[in-house]
Amino acid sequence: MSREMEGRVCLVTGASQGIGESIALRLAEEGCNLVLGSRRQEACERTAQAARELGVDALAVELDVSSMSSVQEAVESANAHFEEIDFLVNNAGIARDNLLVRLSPEAWAETMQTNLMGVYHCTKAVLRSMLRQRHGRVVSISSVVGLLGNPGQTAYAASKAGIHGFTKSLAREVASRNITVNAVAPGYISTEMTAGLPDEARERLLEQIPLERLGTGADVAGVVRFLLSEEAAYITGQVISVDGGMNM
Ligand code: NDP
């Protein structure tokens, strides 16, 4: 079977675990070479090893998306190893939840710096070469919470809604250079981020999900793979919900 993304290179942020790891391995199945980054390089190395076993070249890098200099260093290492980066998946993210009356300025700032500034830093670091190549794909992982809101998640929701505005604006900026920019808005996905939900909260949550289950990393990874593929060449500036029907 031919592997559609053979020879392409994708930078996936937050690839040490969870959704980022699922995306990385799904792209490896398509033959896509990978640059896998997060603050824990050794954990990304585990994902990279699993990707190599699927027959692709994978480089694990230390990457803190909240810092422009860290992102630049990681992209320089990537460029030294691979000639160019074709695709960027902005997946790294954190949640620091609290009701607004109790939410500290530090928690607000940390959320914004990682989830929204992180997308700015990483996209800026790879965009110039995509513009030169006249092709490229950017997919950012936002959240259903950025579309619907959620009590206790003002900072998280604002950061994810910010990704939607960023996506639509950049899509318009770079469309003429054959670069597409989209966001995927997952609902509740079984990862470490949702592992701490108390049983009662999980029950209440399931009542809001028409498909009556939490999503999996694979549910999200399949849509990201599609948005990076040739079949999605005419899709840009979109926010695609992968949420079991929560937002309809
Ligand atoms: P996890 O908490 O399991 O993983 C988060 C990933 O982000 C880790 O790989 C972590 O790696 C990385 N990360 C965190 N901060 C930074 C940073 N400053 N720089 C680089 N990497 C960082 O979360 P999920 O896999 O569940 O979430 C992935 C994305 O999907 C996030 O953007 C999240 O907001 C979004 N999402 C998740 C949903 C869910 O239900 N799980 C629902 C909707 C959206 P390390 O610790 O090594 O830095």
Tell which residue, 24, 21, 26, 14, has the closest CA to residue 61: 14
Give the torsion through C-alpha atoms of 29, 34, 38, 42, to 10 deg.
Answer: 80
The catalytic site residues sit at 156
What is the model's pLDDT at position 2? 66
Start-to-end Cα distance in the chain: 36
What is the model's pLDDT at position 196? 84
Q: Rg (Cα) of the chain, in Å, rounded?
A: 17
Q: Whose CA is nearest to atom 32 of ligand 1?
A: 93
Residue of 11, 13, 19, 142 best suited for mutating to test ligand 1, as the one with most atoms within 8 Å of CB: 19
Determine if ligand 1 sits within 6 Å of the CB of residue 181.
Answer: no
Q: Whose CA is nearest to atom 27 of ligand 1?
A: 19
Q: How would you label 37-52 residue by residue, b for 16+ Cβ within 10 Å and e otherwise?
A: bbbebebbbbbbeebe
d(Cα 24, Cα 33) in Å, to the nearest integer? Answer: 9
Ligand 1 center from residue 99 Cα (angstroms): 21
C-beta of residue 99 within 8 angstroms of C-beta of residue 157: no
Write the CB contacts of 86 (distance below 8 Å, at least 6 apart in sequence). Answer: 8, 9, 10, 130, 133, 135, 136, 137
Low-confidence ranges of the chain (pLDDT < 70): 1-2
Ligand 1 center from residue 79 Cα (angstroms): 24
Ligand 1 center from residue 192 Cα (angstroms): 9
Three-state helix/strand/coil letters over 194-238: HHCCCHHHHHHHHHCCCCCCCECHHHHHHHHHHHHCHHHCCCCCC
DSSP 189: B
Write the CB contacts of 149 (distance below 8 Å, at least 6 apart in sequence). Answer: 157
d(Cα 162, Cα 155) in Å, to the nearest integer? Answer: 10
Q: Which atom of ligand 1 is nearest to the CA of 214?
A: 40
The token pair at 125 is 């670091």
Tell which residue, 47, 89, 39, has the closest CA to residue 66: 39
Q: How many CB atoms lie within 10 A of CB 17?
A: 18
Ligand 1 center from residue 92 Cα (angstroms): 4
Q: Whose CA is nearest to atom 16 of ligand 1?
A: 92
Tens digits of residue pLDDT in 149-164: 999 999 999 999 999 9
Residue of 65, 72, 147, 191 best suited for mutating to test ligand 1, as the one with most atoms within 8 Å of CB: 191
What is the model's pLDDT at position 1? 53
| Helix, coil or strand: residue 168 | helix
Conformational region of residue 233, where left means phi above 0, alpha means psi within -120 to 50, and beta covers everything else: alpha
Ligand 1 center from residue 38 Cα (angstroms): 9
The CATH number corresponding to 9-190+216-241 among 1.20.1630.10, 3.30.70.2190, 3.40.50.720, 2.60.40.1180 equals: 3.40.50.720
Domain boundaries, given as residue ranges, for the chain: 9-190+216-241
